[in-house]
Amino acid sequence: MKYEDLSNKIIQGVGGKENVNSVVHCTTRLRFKLKDEGKTKTELLKATDGVITVVQSGGQYQVVIGNHVADVYDDLIKVGGFQDGGSVPDDYGEKSNMSLLDRFIDLVSGIFTPILGPLCAAGMIKGFTAMFVAFGWITSTSGSYLILHAIGDAFFYFFPVILGYTSANKFKVDKFVGMAIGAVLCYPDIVAINSSKTILYTLFKGTFFASDIHTTFFGIPVIMMDYTSSVIPIILAIWFASHIEKWAKKIIPDVVKTFLVPFVTLIITLPVTFIVIGPIATWLSTAVSDITVAIYNFSPIFAGVLMGALWQVFVMFGLHWGFVAVMLTNLASKGFDPIVVLSFAASFAQTGVVLAMTLQTKNKKTRSIGIPAVISGIFGVTEPAIYGLSLPRKRPFILSCIAAAVGGGLLGFFGTKTYIYGGLGIFAFPSYINSKTGIDMAFYGSIIAAIVAVILGFVLQIIFGKNYVDIEPETVATTAATVSQTDSMATESDTEIIFNKATTLASPLSGKLIQLAEIDDKVFASGAMGKGIAIEPTEGMIYAPAAGEVVLAFPTGHAVGLKTVDGAELLMHIGMDTVNLEGEGFKMLVKQGEQVDLGTPLVKFDIESIKAAGYSVITPLVVTNSKNYHEVRIISNKSEITKSEALLELL
């Protein structure tokens, strides 16, 4: 497994497997729900190679990985032994330690996160189909249109079935029962009742709740609603079903539970849904939709400025899920949403700022992060840009929010609306085409807003952010996570130091000796990682400086850790920032847990290819548990050394 070592560090950092309720992933993050966030080692995780940052929000402990999060997730659930796609059984009702807001965010994100991929894909197909019709490439009566429209629209038409599954997973209901409830809401005969011309009588006549009654259930009037593409009714129905199912399991004998529990759940839940839950949920949805649209109509430009400026902050803390729920409600009840679209320019503003930072910087690491972050930003994924570059330096992030506010104001000015839940970034444009009116100024307004946001973000960064590009963010060194491979995180201040016995270390490389304080890395140079020496190698092979156990073997091959038989904990880090090479030019020759002798080859690396990629090969040898020695002394007084020569004396 490529990310086995990283997965072990993440599991250790979140407090161990036993502290995990569940873990899922989105575009760039691992999203943990933990039993006790007090057991986490956040600073250790932030410092781990392969982790961009950690965000604690919305009842979730989010470990930001980047674009390869899916690969890390796959290895993580294997390493951790998590079953059922990363979920560990828990009781949703027992979340007393979460605030009401956190519980809402956790609920909405838990239901919608698993379906975001196909949801966006279906929306993109609908958007492109509308664009093809608007451009006259196909007609709305052609077979091509019918098939494309069905591919894109079916997901939304049968949305209650999809949400029935994810809601059942969230509320711990039988998933197929959840799907069955959603399917009944979309059943053709049920849908037909709502549009029937036969009206028995009208309930609540003359009020906001006035409803024509088309049918009854054993004499009880049924207020029919159109549940296709709806959101709130099915979620509330599954929540109600979870209580019915739990009650049924308690009273029904085990021998007949297999079929009687689903029977009781369905036979009670669906009539109650049609008679009570469905109408109330629909009225609430309509009210929420009307309120948000009324706020928007009060001042579209002001709403756009506010949403644009704050959207990235909302995303950071998971608060955007509330707006996503409102958007889906608006789409279901009105056929469009004017709210979330106001955030559209934010990703382009962030991309413009990071593009400028990438051109301004002289730091190779910043550039290596910036280029892929710009590409991701074009497609609407901005976490690498936010957490890797702009947010740690503060000023660039603020500048991106200013540019996003201007873009949001333009979207409000042009009256841009979204008509489907589509893609992100440039793939979102088709979502803004009104299928009835075609391409209009509101659509062109989205293009203008995006262009203005990216240009303004770029210009603001060039003018006001230049001095902040190469400021080193105040974080622990990216390799500090290798200091300890044990559960103990004790420090000198809170535990009695036990000194190890004296030992001697041989040189792991042949090359030129360099004092740690002289290398171009603040953390190693400051001794924060421990005392030691650096070597500029003349041959591409690193050897064990003593007999011991390999406790760290990075998949990328750029670093290896050893615990000697005498208790010295060593870190050998080949080059600076070479983790960005993702293993190119390195070959790890040992495995974690392997016992090695003095002089055993550990890593083979290509000096020339690493230098050609723009990276130094200067390699620190650091005693990470230096506090367990009175002194770490350099034995050799030569400027150059040969592998296996005596190099350090640990007293």
As annotated, the active-site residues are 26, 573
* Cα–Cα dist 252/258, whole Å: 10
E strand intervals along 461-614: 503-506, 511-514, 531-537, 541-543, 548-553, 559-564, 569-573, 586-588, 595-596, 601-605
Q: For 648, phi and psi rounded to 5 degrees?
A: -125, 145
CB proximity list for 451: less than 8 A, separation 6 or greater: 348
Q: For 363, phi and psi rounded to 5 degrees?
A: -85, 125
Show the CA angle centred on residue 282, arms to residues 277 and 287, nearest 5°: 130
Q: Any idea which residue has 């575009």 for tokens?
A: 27
Q: Any idea which residue has 């990235």 for tokens?
A: 312
Angle between helices 159-171 and 175-185 (to 10 degrees): 150
227 touches 274 (CB < 8 A): no
596 touches 547 (CB < 8 A): yes
Taking alpha carbons only, the member of 7, 91, 199 closest to residue 592 is 7
507 sits in the region (left: phi over 0; alpha: psi -120 to 50; else beta) called: beta
Distance between alpha carbon 428 and the CA centroid of its chain, in Å?
A: 19
39 touches 97 (CB < 8 A): no
Taking alpha carbons only, the member of 314, 330, 384 closest to residue 353 is 384
Distance between alpha carbon 566 and the CA centroid of its chain, in Å?
A: 42
For residue 567, CA distances in Å to 509, 630, 632, 641 come to 21, 14, 14, 24
For residue 599, CA distances in Å to 98, 568, 590, 596, 643 come to 53, 16, 13, 8, 8
427 touches 344 (CB < 8 A): no
CB proximity list for 616: less than 8 A, separation 6 or greater: 520, 575, 576
624 touches 482 (CB < 8 A): yes
Q: Count Cβ atoms below 10 Å from residue 402 Cβ, excluding itself.
A: 19
Question: What type of residue sits at position 329?
Answer: T
For residue 609, CA distances in Å to 126, 148, 549, 553, 586 come to 47, 48, 29, 21, 10
3-state secondary structure 579-605: HHHCCCCEEECCCCCCEECCCCEEEEE
Percent helix, strand and coil across the chain, each to the nearest 5: 50, 15, 35
* Cα–Cα dist 379/385, whole Å: 12
